[in-house]
Structure 1
Amino acid sequence: MAPYLIYILSIMSSLNSAPPGHNFITLHREYFENVYKLPEGMVINDEFKVPDNFSNQAAVNNLLSQAKKYLGYPYVWGGTTERGFDCSGFMYFLFNKIGKPIPRMPADQCILGPDIPYSKIEPGDLIFFGGGNPNSKWIGHVGLAYDRDANGNIRFIHAEGRKTGVVITLLDNQYYKKRFIRATRILN
């Protein structure tokens, strides 16, 4: 688990949200030490680096394979178990299932990696959407880029709502395209 924690922390330290002279980990050290329940004697410092040869393609494949198993599962507001999921609970469940824990809330999930332009989204990326109002910048929904259809369009898997549960939807679907806020890549 430690290599994955180091990887997540390394990504987060690269975020530009910290003032000059600081990094994200330094500013939020207590949060990470509590959320990730670090083993006795392990401390967070500013020296974590991702090895050059570090690849997560196997983790992406595992994540997508796990996600597919839950197609058709019910939507349950606040759900994070196989009894049912809400959108961010589904992402939380999946990433924990593959041993790469992420925070529970979508606003926390959306800061876990670099911005990925809409045109560069790849399977395994998290995709964040605004709420009911297409002009909203509030994160109201999250899905996982799943694959490309025959025309090359990205499809994503998500816990959509009570009527549909966990489904795969085209990212170019007008409802979601209008509400797209950002995508992030946690697994490289």
Structure 2
Amino acid sequence: MAETSCRSSKSASKSKSATTGKAYVRKKSKSGNKRANHRSTTSAREAAFRKSKASPAPAKSKTTSPASTKAASGQATQVIKTARSFLGTPYRYGGSTSKGMDCSGLLCTSFASIDVKLPRTSTEQSSYGKDVRLNDVSPGDLVFFAERKGGSKISHVGMVTTVKGKDQVMFIHSSTSRGVVEDNLLGEYYQKIFVKAIRPF
């Protein structure tokens, strides 16, 4: 049956024998398959090339912040929220409740909301963390002041709540005359008595 099929082809009729015809037909068929495969591969490559030009590669995604930074930001947010809940509370030396509180008492109570126990006085709190330059302060950082201009002995503490730019850095504290309020750290009065800033987280 295979022999008859071979002789029925145009190429097979030119051969001298059935055996030669078979071999010739098989060789031609194999060559034909190679050409077909080549055309198929070329078409696939051209299609892939057109697709790559039509659909640009997606942009690389930005890397996220380290988990430790996110945790610190979350802690700062909670502490600031607690401190602001005491806005308007009158000043009271040695106090740390809504009935009255001093500057270090405000921070002790605020940090307790994240289970952090700060030292009780502003002088002791000034060593709780690492020093930060004034230009680099962030929400949650503690800021310390002297009693008078040019002084270095710490007598007051507050906490940065918002950084709005190079001219406005708000901090919350318990003022002896106004109670718990927020003021601009970069205001002239506080710049004169500013001593240092630390990052407690």
Aligned length: 134
Q: Could you say which residue in structure 1 is the equivalent of 2:171?
A: 156
Aligned-pair Cα RMSD in Å: 1.6
Identical amino acids, percent of aligned pairs: 32
Which sections of structure 2, spanning at least 5 residues, go unmatched?
Answer: 1-65
Q: Does residue 174 of structure 1 match 2:179? A: no
Alpha-carbon distance, 1:152 to partner: 5.5
Between Structure 1 and Structure 2, the one with more helix by share is: 2
Change (3 A) 1:139 1:151: closer
Structure 1 residue matching 2:130: 3-state secondary structure: coil
Q: Could you say which residue in structure 1 is the equivalent of 2:90?
A: 74
- CA deviation digits over 1:73-121, x for unaligned, max 9? 1110111122111111111111122211111011110001111001001
Aligned pairs (5 A) from 1:37-48: none
- CA deviation digits over 1:17-75, x for unaligned, max 9? xxxxxxxxxxxxxxxxxxxxxxxxxxxxxxxxxxx843322111101111111111111
Which sections of structure 1, spanning at least 5 residues, go unmatched?
Answer: 1-51
Whether the aligned pair in 1 keeps the contact of 2:167 and 2:186 (CA below 8 Å) is no
Q: Could you say which residue in structure 2 is the equivalent of 1:141?
A: 156
Whether the aligned pair in 1 keeps the contact of 2:146 and 2:153 (CA below 8 Å) is yes
Query: In structure 2, what is the Cα distance between the partners aligned to 1:72 and 1:63?
Result: 17
Structure 2 residue matching 1:97: 3-state secondary structure: helix
Structure with bigger RCO (C-alpha 8 Å, 6+ apart): 1
Query: In structure 2, what is the Cα distance between the partners aligned to 1:180 and 1:119?
Result: 13
Query: In structure 2, what is the Cα distance between the partners aligned to 1:152 and 1:64?
Result: 21
Q: Pick the structure with greater CA Rg.
A: 2
Q: Could you say which residue in structure 1 is the equivalent of 2:27?
A: none
Alpha-carbon distance, 1:151 to partner: 6.5
Query: In structure 2, what is the Cα distance between the partners aligned to 1:151 and 1:120?
Result: 10
Aligned pairs (5 A) from 1:106-125: 106-125=122-141
